[in-house]
Structure 1
Amino acid sequence: MVFEGSSAAISHTGKVRSNNQDSGYAGANLFAVADGMGGHAGGDVASTLAIQQLEQLDQVYSSTDDAQASLQAATTTAAGDLIRAAKERPELAGLGTTVSAIIMVDDHAVIGHIGDSRIYLFRDDELTQITADHTFVQRLVDSGRITPEEARYHPRRSVLMRVLSDMDNDPELDMFVMPTLPGDRWLLCSDGLSGVVDEPHILKAMRLGLPPGRTADNLLKQALDGGAPDNVTIVLVDVGGQHPLSSGTPTIVGAASTPSGVLIPAARVNRPSWLHPVRQAANEPSHFEPAADYLEELIEEDRRRARRRRIGWIAALVIVILALTGGGFLAYSWTQTRYFVGADEDSVVIFQGVQQSIGPITLSTEIEDTGILLANLPPYQRSSVERTINARSLADAMAIVDRLRAGEQAVTGETPPPTIAPTPTPTSTPEGAAHTTDSEVIG
């Protein structure tokens, strides 16, 4: 399916936050998402200042190099704006924002990224995450210490290692250029979406082939149905070959969509309240940059968690081994209550155990060689012995041997075989019904 080159942007406060600290932009050639951090006020200001600098880049560029240079300059200027805002109002110290942006230049996408908002590419019916999260847990994933699934629920998943903030006037962005193809769909989103809706469900929504606006609504609904503990911002853009230039009005959503978003509000004091724990949590920051000593504490905490997980696996393995060993011992003990009559190379032997074996392990042992030669038995008895004859007990096995010995004497002519009554079974039989035992077969 080839799209006509359209876009959509949507932002929602979510179900827990009391205000929207995200901002999003969808224009002619620029598409961006910024997820603010820094408490009730700072996040609004940070994402708004970032979008205000970035929206000036929504123009035509002669080359991807020019677009990259402009994108780096705009984010550096935005960092300077954050530093000045924090100086003017000290209570905003620590404000910052993620930035994930795409500038379309002909049939190429110029990408700039810092933080944990994400850019995905939907191409050829498959979804690919293009950006890498600049988070503490992503470092753990990259080093192989936790899995991507564990990272989704890690208690420190909100700790950012790189972000646009008032602490650095020269932010380090991931910047690269990718070619676009007809039918590409690009998704930019804050972690309010990616932290709640996993990639298989995002992919399912993309495969429906709905227009960008309806797809964005679908994804937002999934995030809200999942609890939406953070602000959710989604920007979608479809590409139909060379990116079409549009003279329409750009779409700005979230904090940057209102003039009040750039105002630095008066300081607020959030007093703890046991009556309104959710309201209090809604004003707490969703992201923060850690100090160096805090990172050391996190690393040590992760080591302790890894040790506990390793000890848990070892304990579980030991329990499984003990259970298998105990079960095997009980099963083997049961087999040793069984007996059967069989043959070695040329004579009849009584065995303890069962006829089966487990690999090289034999579950029976020879307890008596009766001295009865197979060659001296009648054909039907020799055949039964070679197939083995089950016995209920050692006494029953001895009785079977007596019958075989009588058969041997009958063949050799030493004495006539004795007549031995069948051994009755403990189970009752309906009157008039036939009843057969191993002894009757041998007799």
Structure 2
Amino acid sequence: MTVRTAAASHVGRIRANNQDSGYAGTHLFVVADGMGGHAGGDVASALAIQAIAQTDARFDTAEEARDALEQALLTANGELAETVFEHPELTGMGTTVSGLVRVGERMALAHIGDSRVYLLRDGEFTQITKDHTFVQRLVDSGRITPEEAAVHPRRSVLMRVLGDVDISPEIDTDVLETMPGDRWLLCSDGLSGYVDDERIAEILTENADAEAAVDALIQASLDNGAPDNVTVLVVGVDDDESSGISSPIMVGSAAKPLSFRPVEEKRASKSLPQLLLHPLKPTPDPEDEHFEPESEGFLQELIAEDRRRKNRRRATWSVGLVLIISLIAAALTAGYQWTQTRFFVGEVDGRVAIFQGVQQNAGPIPLSSVYQETGIDLMALTPFSRNAVEQTISAVDLVDALAIIERLRREAER
């Protein structure tokens, strides 16, 4: 039988520990991406998932499920703050969370951070959530394009997360319609950052079995370098309100015993094939992802930084363009000067003449000119010589051209 719902998590090719966590249950589906490096990203995502998993229950309405899911995220936020108070070495840890609760033909959603929820319906693939990152703010304001955001050096700076940074973080919530045949995808940015939406949609379409789809999506991320952890949940919607899972699935850090001891980060060395790959965004250091308070000051700093970067890029392109034009001009000048060392014999107004240059033209530009008119009448030559002059006679140099003229002159006088 085709599996409707599946979940899996992979540490990726660079990290030593998995800071992602995921949960797929009867009604609840959620993914979390921890931040804080080896000091607590795995703890943050695991604690959040374990707290939010209590929401895997039947609700009377989708609105009730939405409110419960939002409250579960806030409860998890409080637990993370308490954990940091008890373990100061975990200060700064946090996690993104994106979750769904199915209630009949509706989905309740709660989201914070840059993990994502997608929907595939009748061949149309749509991103449901919006990233809570500063580069997304730049995209929304029209300052950069989504393609520029994918490779922006500050793409991993988060504006909103669960953790010890905000007592009451703002959480996006919504209630969405769903129907049989829909496929929902929840993933950390280990997938969305390295595999483009078109390829993700292709994999979901090609693999009707959820387990096969999850495996193929993770493999696609690994094939593109996948320096970050990768967590993927695929949820298929059928007439049955359940997910089709016999028992809840926990993946990533949430599936392991919780440990507050820091993990020594041992990065795997990248092989040559990995270095030659071109993922959606360049391979970052795993610690690059971090939280910055949502402030106008930091946004303005980011805008100013972008402006400086664009000015440097523009200056680099300008210098490069000037160099290219200079090289082309130098090559053309050298080429033209070479042509002026060549000579040939031809005719002008029925008379023999010596030309300086070559017989060809560079488009509308002639590469030869009359060097000397000899006064030899073309009709005084034999038919063979006359035809040769009309077709032009190449000379090695000026001395050779003068010798050819002397032979033709003697021929004309006979």
- Shorter chain as normaliser: what TM range? 0.7 to 0.9
2:335 aligns with 331
1:351, distance to aligned residue in structure 2 (A): 1.5
Among 249, 263, 266, which residue is 1:278 paired with?
266
Alignment: residue pair count: 394
Q: Describe the SS at the equivalent of 1:278.
A: coil
The separation in 2 between residues aligned to 1:337 and 1:323, in whole angstroms, is 22
**1:350 aligned to 344, 347, 354, which one?**
354
Counterpart secondary structure, 1:341: strand
Deviation larger for 386-395 or 105-114: 105-114
Equivalent position SS for 1:309: helix
What pairs up with 1:10-409 in 2 under 5 angstroms? 10-14=8-12, 17=15, 19-40=17-38, 42-59=40-57, 65-87=63-85, 90-122=88-120, 129-139=127-137, 154-176=152-174, 180=178, 183-197=181-195, 202=200, 205-206=203-204, 208-209=206-207, 211-221=209-219, 223=221, 229-240=227-238, 246=244, 248-257=246-255, 261=258, 265=260, 278=266, 287-290=289-292, 301-374=305-378, 379-406=383-410, 409=412
In the TM superposition, residue 234 of structure 1 has moved relative to its aligned partner by: 1.6
CA shift, 1:332, in A, is 1.0
Partners of 2:5 and 2:243 within 8 A in 1: no
Change (3 A) 1:370 1:231: same
Q: Which residue of 2 aligns with 1:432?
A: none
Inter-partner Cα distance in structure 2 for 1:350 and 1:242: 95
Relative to structure 1, the CA distance from residue 183 to residue 377 in structure 2 (aligned partners, 3 Å threshold; closer, same or farther) is farther
Residue by residue over 1:347-367, the C-alpha shift from the partner in whole angstroms, topping out at 9 and shown as x without a partner, is 333221112222332211122
Alignment CA distance shift 1:379-1:128 (3 Å): farther
Q: Which runs of 5+ in 1 are unaligned?
A: 271-275, 410-414, 418-443
TM-score under structure 2 length normalisation: 0.76
Q: Over residues 136-195 of structure 1, what are the superposed CA-to-partner deviations in whole Å (9 max), with x where a residue is unaligned?
A: 344456667767666556554432122233333443344456555654433211123344
Alpha-carbon distance in 2 for matches of 1:175, 1:349: 89
For the residue of structure 2 that corresponds to 1:349, the secondary structure is strand
Check whether the contact 1:121–1:186 (CA below 8 A) recurs between aligned residues.
yes
Q: Which runs of 5+ in 2 are unaligned?
A: 268-285
Alignment RMSD, CA only? 4.0
CA distance in structure 1 between the aligned counterparts of 2:7 and 2:288, rounded to whole angstroms: 22
Q: 1:304 to 1:344 in 2, by over 3 A?
A: same
Equivalent AA in structure 2 for residue 256 of structure 1: A
* Distance in 1 of aligned mates of 2:18 and 2:248: 20
Question: Relative to structure 1, is the Cα distance of residues 350 and 97 closer, same or farther in structure 2, using a 3 angstrom cutoff?
Answer: same
Rounded Cα–Cα distance in structure 2 between residues aligned with 1:189 and 1:107: 22
Q: Deviations over 1:10-53 (max 9, x none)?
A: 23444654544322111233321011223546434433443345
SS of the equivalent of 2:358 reads strand
Residue 60 and residue 388 in structure 1: after superposition, are their counterparts in 2 closer, same or farther (change >3 A)? farther
SS at match of 1:112: strand
Q: What amino acid is the match of 1:391?
A: A
Give 1:220 shift. 3.6
Change (3 A) 1:345 1:207: farther
3-state DSSP of counterpart to 2:191: helix
Aligned-partner Cα distance in 2 for 1:13–1:239: 28
Are the aligned partners of 1:339 and 1:391 in contact in 2 as well (CA < 8 Å)?
Answer: yes
Change over 3 Å in CA distance of 1:394–1:224 after alignment to 2: closer
Gap change, CA 1:71 and 1:375, over 3 Å in 2? farther
Distance 2:113 2:359 in 1: 67
TM-score under structure 1 length normalisation: 0.72
- When residues 62 and 349 of structure 1 are mapped into structure 2, their CA distance, relative to the original with a 3 A threshold, is farther
Cα pair 1:119 1:188 within 8 Å, conserved: yes
Q: Which stretch of the first structure deviates more once superposed, 323-332 or 30-39? A: 30-39
User: Offset at 1:345?
Assistant: 4.2
**Which amino acid letter does the alignment assign opposite residue 43 of structure 1?**
G
Determine helix, strand or coil for the equivalent of 1:193. Answer: helix
| Greater displacement, 332-341 / 316-325 | 316-325
Q: Deviations over 1:42-66 (max 9, x none)?
A: 4344334433454344455566555
Alignment CA distance shift 1:49-1:126 (3 Å) = same
User: 1:359-390 CA deviation, whole Å, 9 max, x = no partner?
Assistant: 33221112223334445555554443333332
Could you tell me which amino acid in structure 1 is paired with residue 101 of structure 2?
Answer: I
Cα distance between partner residues in 2 of 1:372 and 1:180: 95
Change (3 A) 1:42 1:335: same
| TM superposition shift of 1:336 | 0.8
Q: Which whole-Å deviations, capped at 9, do the CAs of 1:397-431 have from their partners, x for residues lacking one?
A: 33333444455x4xxxxx5x2xxxxxxxxxxxxxx
Q: Which has the larger radius of gyration?
A: 1
CA distance in 1, matches of 2:150, 2:138: 12
Partner letter of residue 212 of structure 2?
R
- 1:347 aligned partner, one-letter code: R
Amino acid in structure 2 at the alignment position of 1:252? M
